[in-house]
Chain A
Amino acid sequence: DVQLVESGGGLVQPGGSLRVSCVASGLTFHNSWLTWVRQAPGKGLEWVANIKPDGNEKYYADSVKGRFTVSRDNVKNSLFLQMNGLRPEDTAVYFCSVGPYYSDHWGQGTQVTVSS
């Protein structure tokens, strides 16, 4: 079975930085597109970023472009999201998922709270 486990969430002040991670198992990691999706409290789903299997193509939502960076380590089966310049509106549960278009496997998410 595919398992995705996110970690690294927490409380950070506005303007601060945080890196969240996702470790995957049960899939051919180095052949998989990976995606970050977030969900603000009581709100819907927002596509954030995705990354090609070899890490050479990355795409971002306009709301995070220039502040967030997606990366991966295919040796450690890990996906990362480096978040800089955090704003209160970035407060959300961040999910990692598998797929270039739609997401057919999801982790349980990690909570990121941006507040002073």
Chain B
Amino acid sequence: EILMTQSPATLSVSPGERATLSCRASQDFNNNVAWYRQKPGQAPRLLIYGASTRATGVPARFSGSGSGTEFNLTISSLQSEDFAVYYCQYYNHWPPPFTFGPGTRVDIK
């Protein structure tokens, strides 16, 4: 069983500041990692797939990086809509299921 962790659980950031979120697994992800943002009361939105490829329409302030078992999502300058919960998901295997990480909440400092 692959264990996934996200850190920190909560990140307090001021608007305009930079935020870096981490996702780790107990096995190699082989870059098959996606990141989502979920605002309160809304469905998740895909931000990043393949560890570093921005999804269609995602602003350039979002970037993904990492390899192996550790991956990061960086938001270069936090906007009001970015105060939300962020989930990573790995999909380095077939068949499913494709587990989500426990999430990181980004709130206003």
Contacts and interface: CB of A to CB of B under 8 A. Distances in A.
Interface of A: 37, 44-47, 50, 59-62, 95, 101-109
A48 B99 CA distance: 10
A107 B91 CA distance: 21
Interface residues of B, number: 24
Given A102-B46, A103-B46, A50 B96 contact: yes
Contacts of B32: 101
Interface of B: 32, 34, 36, 38, 42-46, 49, 55-56, 87, 89, 91, 95-103
Contact of A45 (B56, B87, B91): B87
Contacts of B99: 47
Contacts of A107: 43
A46 B44 contact: no
Contacts of A59: 95-97
Given A101-B91, A102-B89, A95 B43 contact: yes
7 contacts: A45-B100, A45-B103, A47-B99, A59-B97, A101-B98, A102-B98, A103-B46
